[in-house]
């Protein structure tokens, strides 16, 4: 199952979700691949892979390198990584003129996807061609939504983009779920936003709501998922529950 972690807003918890759900499923014994397709390469460094050391999604998408050659092991058993690199920013200029430009990631992952039970694609904060490539390669879309006002803003455009990719490029694509992130029980905003998103998308919301937890923000600077950095913090508990929901949704 290939999950694209998508939201065109930055800072909503895409990378945190991709890294930590991938790590939790790997810890549970599943074979998992984390693919970083954001030129910012936050998932790459956040899981402890040095940016720029080997081949990356930039080489795979722009220069035809094979995904198998670019994939590296992480420090977590069962978790492999296809790293990103800032050069992937060149995709914006280089890819539009390519043949089958929306299918490059899907084609690149096809030979390796069967080696993994779960693949997570950590997307950039946009709905550009890289994200469209991720949506074409994916079976499911996982949308982190930050618990703040205006959370719904942009979601309808995201849903329209998903529908358009389904209609024209990837008929199998489904929305795998909306995950509320950075919930702060002390503020009214958080509760209001969860209720509002639930009202608009009752069947799509994950039951688990990820709390705001400083451990989740600290872990990436140590190159570790939160279940390694602090396995008993509320953020780790939440992502274990999210991973269970992902596994049970199939």
Ligand X SMILES: Nc1ncnc2c1ncn2[C@@H]1O[C@H](COP(=O)(O)OP(=O)(O)O)[C@@H](O)[C@H]1O
The residue ranges that bind ligand X (CB under 6 A) are 10-16, 42, 125, 181-182, 210, 212-213, 216-217, 220, 235
Binding partner of residue 181 among Mg ion, ligand X, none, CB cut-off 5 to 8 Å per kind: ligand X
Measured from the CB atom, is 104 or 210 closer to ligand X?
Answer: 210
Binding partner of residue 12 among ligand X, Mg ion, none, CB cut-off 5 to 8 Å per kind: ligand X
Binding partner of residue 182 among Mg ion, ligand X, none, CB cut-off 5 to 8 Å per kind: ligand X
Binding partner of residue 177 among ligand X, Mg ion, none, CB cut-off 5 to 8 Å per kind: none
Instruction: Judge whether 72 and 81 are in contact, CB under 8 Å.
Output: yes
**Minimum distance of Mg ion from residue 101's CB (angstroms):** 23
Measured from the CB atom, is 173 or 225 closer to ligand X?
Answer: 225
Binding partner of residue 11 among ligand X, Mg ion, none, CB cut-off 5 to 8 Å per kind: ligand X
**Minimum distance of Mg ion from residue 114's CB (angstroms):** 27
- Using Cβ positions, the residue closest to Mg ion within the complex turns out to be 15
Question: CB-based contacts of 100: which residues, under 8 Å, 6+ apart?
Answer: 107
**Minimum distance of Mg ion from residue 115's CB (angstroms):** 25
**Minimum distance of ligand X from residue 70's CB (angstroms):** 21
Q: β-pairing, 32-36 with 118-122?
A: parallel
Please give the Cα distance from 69 to 72 (Å, whole number): 8
- Site residues (CB under 5 A) for Mg ion? 14-15, 42
**Minimum distance of ligand X from residue 53's CB (angstroms):** 21
């Amino acid at each position: 199952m290939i999950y694209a972690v998508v939201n065109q807003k930055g800072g909503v918890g895409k990378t945190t979700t991709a890294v930590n759900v991938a790590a939790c499923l790997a810890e549970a014994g599943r074979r998992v691949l984390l693919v970083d397709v954001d030129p910012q390469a936050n998932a790459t460094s956040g899981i402890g892979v040095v940016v720029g050391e080997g081949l990356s999604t930039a080489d795979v998408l722009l220069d035809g390198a094979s995904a198998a050659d670019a994939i590296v092991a992480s420090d977590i058993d069962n978790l492999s990584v296809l790293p990103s690199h800032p050069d992937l920013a060149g995709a914006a200029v280089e890819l539009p003129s390519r043949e089958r430009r929306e299918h490059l990631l899907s084609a690149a992952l096809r030979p390796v996807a069967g080696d993994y039970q779960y693949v997570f694609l950590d997307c950039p904060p946009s709905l550009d061609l890289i994200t469209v490539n991720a949506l074409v390669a994916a079976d499911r879309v996982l949308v982190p939504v930050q618990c703040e006002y205006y959370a719904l803003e942009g979601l309808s455009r995201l849903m329209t983009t998903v529908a358009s990719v389904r209609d024209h490029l990837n008929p199998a694509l489904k929305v795998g779920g909306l995950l509320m992130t950075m919930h702060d029980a002390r503020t009214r905003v958080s509760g209001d936003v969860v209720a509002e998103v639930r009202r608009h998308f009752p069947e799509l919301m994950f039951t688990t709501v990820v709390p705001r937890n400083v451990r989740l923000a600290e872990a990436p600077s140590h190159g570790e998922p939160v279940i390694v950095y602090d396995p008993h913090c509320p953020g780790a508990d939440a992502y274990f529950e999210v991973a269970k929901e992902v596994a049970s949704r199939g």
